[in-house]
């Protein structure tokens, strides 16, 4: 009876188990704050989004980073990502929100790979096998600081799942689901992943199209092309607001023109990083050995799943498994960066491949492919009733010999000090621990795992072998994750509750800015991992920020100044300059009462009135209201980046002319007399496209709901 209930609800039960394992695996993220870019970049952006939503405004313009940026155009900020909105509306976004969102996406990724395996192999144990391995894979562990990468890892399996379903069924429902998950990947993930996924889907589409042409099925060929075109159109409708935001920004941001080859090849998955397939704990030590950032050096997906990848090569795999293996090798060849020429070729000859860094990102697709191969091998193993071939034992012995060799060679050449290392707790961050200690300690744990696995398979009297194998895999993945967590996931020398309390000391109001602050010059607000982009919380206007999204004009301003000789100083957020001088290529001097402008546009004799004054009436992101009093027509300089879609008008609705001052700042020609003036960032196209996206998603939701009701009625 109990078995029947399990079989009836097996998907729900297994997914619930994956959820529990997600919480157990990453429970550290609630006790200790996440680290590096998670706190420095993603938390401030989510915090800003949350404040905007709670103040019933759109996250269009962030004045608290780099003298103001169009936050809606930053592809990594996630301002149009629905999941970020959902987390942001439940209280003001903080450290616990960030940890919950991080764990949520890892869980979602495991569900995606679970259903992908279930679709390919129709075996719930195999599906759980891949979900369990993906849950704690090295991609999530080492890139834990990159929320957009974690989001990408969550949705990529769903995109492939529904596209494979579509290739099989050619149903519009599956095509719409592909569009929806592409939308989530695009709005929440790292741009490189959506580019790579589109190319991979294009190759799959081409393969299917050629197959249809060969069999001369004209009707299905045209139907297939039509639905694929519909898929692209629907994706564009879902993503309309993000697409228009990014397209408007591309000519105006530094990365819009592409990266140099040197930048594109930064931080690969180096050849020494391949050791992480078996010993990921070593990847957090010795940059000199790995030659890459530790966040890019881990591709672990379990020693038992890796074992089954190798074992599967001796089981006469079908052609599609061999093709998948070749694909994983190609992805790894791209991931190694300049060690092989493949990434450079894609940079030079494939459109859009020059827009992103970090070749190591390709390892995600290799991990997914290898997990599918492992799942096929595991299913074959189960179908043989756990009676493996001789090759199984040969591979197992080679694994044991390999780990023993690492231990003895390390012991022979070095004093390991393993006892002291263990006494100091290997599950805590340590600057004193060495590469060799990490290597040997994990070799011992892996040796235990492999031997235990062999015993379970070898002893015929042992019952419930599959459950025991899952327990061994769980132990392996948990230990590998917990060992690396203090180095790449959390700052274990701080408590989440403490930094959350510090964050709560900042008020959720928009005070009137008084002056420009120097970037990271808020030492009074430093607290543990909180030290970057503090202006987002304190509501100061900084001259710079920690953000890869930079405007060309803002960069030009900063580059014009030699900070070693003179400090950029603009004393007020808004001011009437007393003096205007032309821009000089030889020397630029910034003073308290001077701005620089092209004399060809404005005559200097209009700007000698020293009696003009201004009072800011109200301020919020993207909108300023102020009162001016001048005896003549004047120019008002505002320390915010000039960007399209800024508009200024007087109390009677008359539009005022805007200028660009000092490379990047907004200048407004103020009419003579007393006026109430409104300056507002109002991107009409973006707001229109937002409604297009909302309406498209609502129609999609209604369509899905209607179809599900119809299918349920048919089944009844």
Helix (H) or strand (E) holding 517: strand 516-517
- Tell me how far apart the alpha carbons of residues 51 and 54 are, in angstroms, rounded to a whole number: 5
The pLDDT value given to residue 597: 61
Strands in 41-126 per DSSP E = none
The pLDDT value given to residue 583: 54
Per-run averaged pLDDT (10 residues), the chain, 716 residues: 63 95 96 96 98 96 95 97 96 97 98 98 96 97 98 98 96 96 98 97 95 90 95 98 97 89 96 97 90 96 98 94 98 97 97 95 98 97 85 96 94 80 92 93 97 94 92 97 97 95 94 76 78 92 90 84 46 72 49 56 47 87 94 87 95 92 86 95 98 97 90 75
Ramachandran assignment for 182, one of left (phi > 0), alpha (psi -120 to 50 degrees), beta (any other)? alpha
∠ CA 471-474-476 to the nearest 5 degrees? 110
Per the CB < 8 A criterion, the answer to whether 481 and 103 are in contact is no
The pLDDT value given to residue 692: 98
The token duo for 256 is 């819009």
The pLDDT value given to residue 174: 96
The pLDDT value given to residue 569: 43
Per the CB < 8 A criterion, the answer to whether 102 and 78 are in contact is no
Closest alpha carbon to 192 in 72, 310, 331, 97: 331
Strands in 621-685 per DSSP E = 623-630, 634-641, 646-649, 655-656, 658-661, 665-670, 673-681
Burial, 354: exposed, middle or buried (Cβ in 10 Å; 0-12, 13-18, 19+)? Answer: middle
The pTM of this model reads 0.95
Which of the 8 DSSP states describes residue 414? Answer: S
The owner of tokens 């020293």 is 610
Closest alpha carbon to 239 in 303, 196, 194: 194
- CA Rg value for the chain: 29
Please report the DSSP string for 374-391 in residue order. HHHHHHHHHHTTT---HH
Task: Kindly report the number of other CB atoms within 10 A of residue 350's CB atom.
Answer: 11
The pLDDT value given to residue 589: 44
Q: Which residues contact 638 (CB under 8 A, 6 or more apart)?
A: 573, 574, 624, 665, 666, 667, 668, 679
Burial, 119: exposed, middle or buried (Cβ in 10 Å; 0-12, 13-18, 19+)? Answer: middle
Length of the chain: 716
User: In a 3-state reduction of DSSP, which class is residue 622?
Assistant: coil
The pLDDT value given to residue 602: 46
The pLDDT value given to residue 256: 79
Residue 82's alpha-carbon distances to 79, 86, 499, in angstroms, are: 8, 6, 26
Give the distance between the most distant pair of CA atoms in the chain. Answer: 99
Ramachandran assignment for 61, one of left (phi > 0), alpha (psi -120 to 50 degrees), beta (any other)? beta
Rounded-to-5 percentages of helix, strand, coil across the chain? 60, 10, 30
Angle between helices 172-188 and 684-715 (to 10 degrees): 140
Please report the DSSP string for 39-53 in residue order. IIIIHHHHHHHHHHH
- Tell me how far apart the alpha carbons of residues 255 and 202 are, in angstroms, rounded to a whole number: 25
The token duo for 427 is 């599950």
The token duo for 135 is 């849950």
The pLDDT value given to residue 604: 44
């Amino acid at each position: 009876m109990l078995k029947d209930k399990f079989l009836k609800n097996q998907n729900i039960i297994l997914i619930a188990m994956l959820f529990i394992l997600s919480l157990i695996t990453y429970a550290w993220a609630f006790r200790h704050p996440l680290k590096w870019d998670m706190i420095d970049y993603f938390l401030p952006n989510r915090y800003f989004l949350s404040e905007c939503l709670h103040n019933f405004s759109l996250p269009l313009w962030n004045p608290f980073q780099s003298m103001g940026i169009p936050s809606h155009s930053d592809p990594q900020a996630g301002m149009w990502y629905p999941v970020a909105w959902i987390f942001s509306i439940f209280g003001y976004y903080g450290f616990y929100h960030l940890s919950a969102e991080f764990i949520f996406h890892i869980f979602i990724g495991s569900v995606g790979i679970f259903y992908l395996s279930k679709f390919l192999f129709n075996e719930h144990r195999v599906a759980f096998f891949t979900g369990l391995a993906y849950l704690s894979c090295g991609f999530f562990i080492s890139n834990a600081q990159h929320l957009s990468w974690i989001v990408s890892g969550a949705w990529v399996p769903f995109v492939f799942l529904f596209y494979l379903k579509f290739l099989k069924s050619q149903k519009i429902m599956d095509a719409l689901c592909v569009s929806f998950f592409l939308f989530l990947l695009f709005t929440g993930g790292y741009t490189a992943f959506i580019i790579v996924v589109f190319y991979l889907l294009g190759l799959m589409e081409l393969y299917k199209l050629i197959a249809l042409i060969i069999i001369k099925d004209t009707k299905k060929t045209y139907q297939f092309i039509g639905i694929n075109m519909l898929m692209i159109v629907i994706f564009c409708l879902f993503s309309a607001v993000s697409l228009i935001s990014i397209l408007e920004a591309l000519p105006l941001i530094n990365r819009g023109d592409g990266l140099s080859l040197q930048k594109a090849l930064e931080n690969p998955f180096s050849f020494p990083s391949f050791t992480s397939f078996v010993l990921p704990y070593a990847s957090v030590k010795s940059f000199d050995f790995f030659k890459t950032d530790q966040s890019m050096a881990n591709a672990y997906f379990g020693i038992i799943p890796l074992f089954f990848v190798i074992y599967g090569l001796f089981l006469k795999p079908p052609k599609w498994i061999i093709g998948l293996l070749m694909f994983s090798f190609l992805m790894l060849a791209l991931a190694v960066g300049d060690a092989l020429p493949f990434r450079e070729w894609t940079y030079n000859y494939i459109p859009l491949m020059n827009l992103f860094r970090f070749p190591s990102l390709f390892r995600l697709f290799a991990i997914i492919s290898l997990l599918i191969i492992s799942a096929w091998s595991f299913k074959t193993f189960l179908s043989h009733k756990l009676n493996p071939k001789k090759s199984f034992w040969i591979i197992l012995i080679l694994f044991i010999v390999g780990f023993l060799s690492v231990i003895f060679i390390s012991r022979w050449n070095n004093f390991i000090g393993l006892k002291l290392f263990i006494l100091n707790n290997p599950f805590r961050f340590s600057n004193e621990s060495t590469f060799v200690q990490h290597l040997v300690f994990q070799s011992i744990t892996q040796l235990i795992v492999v031997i235990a696995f062999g015993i379970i398979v070898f002893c015929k009297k042992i019952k419930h072998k599959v459950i025991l194998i899952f327990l061994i895999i769980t132990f392996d993945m948990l230990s590998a994750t917990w060992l690396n967590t203090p180095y790449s996931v959390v700052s274990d020398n701080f408590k989440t509750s403490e930094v959350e309390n510090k964050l709560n000391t900042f008020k959720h109001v928009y005070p009137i800015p008084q002056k420009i602050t120097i970037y990271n010059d808020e030492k009074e607000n430093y607290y543990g991992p909180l030290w970057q982009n503090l202006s987002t919380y304190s509501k100061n206007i900084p001259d710079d920020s920690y953000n890869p999204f930079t405007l060309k004009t803002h960069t030009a301003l900063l580059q014009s100044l030699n900070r070693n000789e003179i400090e950029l100083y603009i004393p007020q957020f808004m001011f009437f300059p007393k003096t205007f001088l032309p821009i000089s290529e030889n020397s630029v001097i910034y003073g308290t009462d001077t701005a620089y402008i092209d004399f060809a546009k404005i005559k200097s004799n209009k700007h000698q009135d020293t009696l003009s004054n201004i009072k800011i009436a109200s301020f919020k992101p993207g909108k300023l209201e102020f009162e001016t009093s001048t005896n003549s027509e004047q120019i008002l300089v505002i320390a915010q980046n000039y960007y399209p879609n800024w508009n200024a008008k007087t109390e009677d609705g008359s539009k005022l002319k805007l200028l660009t001052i000092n490379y990047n700042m907004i200048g407004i020609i103020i009419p003579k007399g007393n006026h109430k003036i409104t300056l507002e960032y109002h991107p009409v196209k973006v707001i229109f496209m937002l409604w297009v996206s909302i309406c498209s998603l609502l129609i999609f939701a209604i369509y899905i709901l209607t179809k599900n009701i119809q299918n349920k009625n048919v089944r009844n």
